[in-house]
């Protein structure tokens, strides 16, 4: 990998992942002490809490994505490389990528988490997840395409299968998705598809635990069920999915549901990278770290954010995998790396819980901030304000605000577009003639 030389006594910090954790750390590292190599498979940062609004036609993908190079235009010590990390070699302090190797003084793993299908190959093959902008667009395409197909369904059973949506997982993502799709069913879809009786459409929210929103209070869990039931969502707790073949969902209670769209929001696991010893990882691929986010048994290797598992007596399962944990760990690690270079004592991480938020739909939300518990319109307004201010870029915030205001006034989402990537039908062929001229032919799909 072609990387400029370090300046003066700088140490090279290689950061894997440009999510909340990696992005925050890169911003905070001092030019005087560090050269930063930020590696990500995408050239943008995505605001994951609002992916569900992309999937339900509420927001453009560009509204919740921001180019990495624009973020760091004024940072002379940060170098971005868009590539896939294939492995790390802690013994030689090297990171191996598709575009070459890079040596580090400090390595920070912040690659986040991915969908956990709990080793069920059928679910992984047939269910839809929502951990990236690409997956959110695929889900949007699927939902809209199913409505189009339902217009020409051969019978009632086939039409119901195309209309039904099943969401697995009763956390904030599952709750927010269920509410957004329910509002589409109520306010938008009957206008777009007047030939379809959406009374035949069922939205199921399945949760294996006894209640929804396990990260919030029992009171909030009960309230969110009331909100969802009011929107027509069929909530089932203590219900797990055993299998899914793309059309029929088999449940642990022996029942089945027919649906062409199962959305899996039931769990996450760490994104593994070869080279990290098994003794340094937990069963769900999260990386074991101490109170300074140093990876177990690996000197000068740190992990922050969703991938990091910092256990103690009060938190045997580690901290919640939310943005605030990632941001706070990144800020502290930036300070601690500078303290290491300055020979000063380190500060142990202590999470400051700023509260939990979840929204179900228009004027329906829940907020828990310390002992304060809010619901309804006030909580919904707080949810919007917090998410709006967390988005990177004034332009992006403005676009999101305009979309939200338009939807609130008109009850409409104007981004119901089925956009698929095109495939090149014929490859380019070059022929060399006797006169050494090159003749190229290329045909493009659709022309």
Q: Quick count: other Cβ atoms within 10 Å of Cβ 392?
A: 18
The secondary structure of residue 218, as a DSSP letter, is: H
Q: Which residues contact 122 (CB under 8 A, 6 or more apart)?
A: 243, 244, 245
The residue ranges of DSSP E strands in 337-435, in sequence order, are 356-361, 364-369, 372-375, 429-432
Q: Is 169 left (phi over 0), alpha (psi -120 to 50) or beta?
A: left
Q: Which residues contact 212 (CB under 8 A, 6 or more apart)?
A: 170, 171, 174, 175, 205, 221, 224, 225, 235, 237
432 class by beta-carbon count within 10 Å (0-12 exposed, 13-18 middle, 19+ buried): exposed
Element counts in the chain: helices (H) and strands (E) = 12, 26
Report, as residue numbers or ranges, the catalytic residues. 176
Nearest to 72 by CA among 32, 25, 105, 112: 25
Q: How far apart are CA 233 and CA 357, in angstroms?
A: 20
172 class by beta-carbon count within 10 Å (0-12 exposed, 13-18 middle, 19+ buried): buried
- Tell me how far CA of residue 282 lies from CA of 21, 270, 321, 435, in angstroms: 20, 9, 15, 65
- Sheet holding 106-109: strands in order across? 78-82, 34-40, 11-16, 106-109, 301-303
Q: Which DSSP string do the residues of 68-132 spell out, in sequence order? A: HHHHTTT-TTEEEEE--EEEEETTTTEEEETTEEEE-SEEEE---EEE--TT-HHHHHHSB--SS
Beta bridge partners of 13: 36, 106
- Sheet holding 356-361: strands in order across? 356-361, 364-369, 372-375
Q: Quick count: other Cβ atoms within 10 Å of Cβ 31?
A: 14
Check the CA dihedral 96-102-107-113 and report its sign: negative
């Amino acid at each position: 990998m072609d990387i400029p030389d370090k300046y003066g006594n700088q140490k090279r910090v290689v950061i894997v992942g440009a999510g909340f954790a990696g992005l925050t750390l890169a911003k905070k590292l001092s030019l005087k002490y560090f050269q930063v190599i930020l590696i990500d498979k995408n050239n943008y940062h995505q605001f994951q809490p609002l992916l569900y609004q992309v999937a339900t036609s509420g927001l453009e993908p560009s509204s919740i994505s921001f180019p990495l190079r624009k973020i760091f235009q004024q940072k002379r010590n940060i170098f971005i490389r868009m590539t896939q990390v294939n492995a790390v070699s802690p013994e030689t302090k090297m990171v191996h990528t598709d575009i070459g190797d890079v040596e580090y003084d400090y390595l920070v793993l912040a690659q986040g988490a991915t969908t956990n299908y709990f080793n069920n190959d059928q679910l992984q093959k047939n269910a839809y997840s929502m951990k990236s902008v690409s997956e959110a667009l695929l889900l949007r395409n699927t939902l809209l395409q199913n409505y189009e197909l339902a217009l020409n369904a051969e019978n009632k059973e086939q039409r119901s299968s195309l209309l039904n949506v099943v969401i697995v997982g009763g956390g904030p993502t599952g709750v927010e998705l269920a509410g957004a799709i329910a509002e589409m069913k109520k306010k938008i879809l009957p206008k777009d598809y007047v030939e379809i009786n959406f009374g035949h459409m069922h939205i199921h929210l399945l949760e294996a635990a006894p209640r929804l929103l396990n990260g919030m209070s029992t009171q909030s869990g009960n309230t969110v069920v009331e909100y969802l039931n009011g929107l027509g969502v069929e909530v089932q707790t203590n219900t797990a999915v055993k299998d899914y073949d793309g059309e029929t969902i088999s449940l642990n209670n022996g029942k089945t549901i027919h649906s062409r769209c199962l959305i899996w929001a039931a769990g996450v696991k760490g994104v593994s990278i070869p080279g990290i010893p098994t003794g340094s990882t937990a069963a769900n691929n999260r990386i074991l770290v101490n109170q300074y986010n140093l990876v177990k048994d690996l000197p000068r290797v740190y992990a922050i954010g969703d991938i990091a598992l910092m256990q103690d007596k009060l938190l045997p399962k580690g901290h919640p995998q939310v943005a605030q944990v990632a941001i706070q760990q990144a800020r502290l690690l930036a300070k601690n790396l500078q303290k290491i270079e300055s020979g000063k004592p380190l500060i142990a991480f202590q999470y400051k819980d700023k509260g939990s938020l979840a929204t179900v739909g228009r004027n329906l939300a829940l907020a828990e901030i310390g002992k304060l518990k809010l619901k309804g319109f006030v909580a919904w307004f707080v949810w919007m304000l917090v998410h709006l201010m967390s988005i990177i870029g004034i332009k992006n915030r403005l676009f999101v605000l305009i979309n939200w205001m338009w939807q609130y006034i008109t009850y409409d989402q104007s981004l119901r577009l089925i956009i698929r990537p095109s495939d090149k039908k014929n490859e380019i062929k070059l022929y060399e003639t006797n006169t050494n001229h090159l003749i190229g032919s290329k045909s493009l799909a659709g022309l």
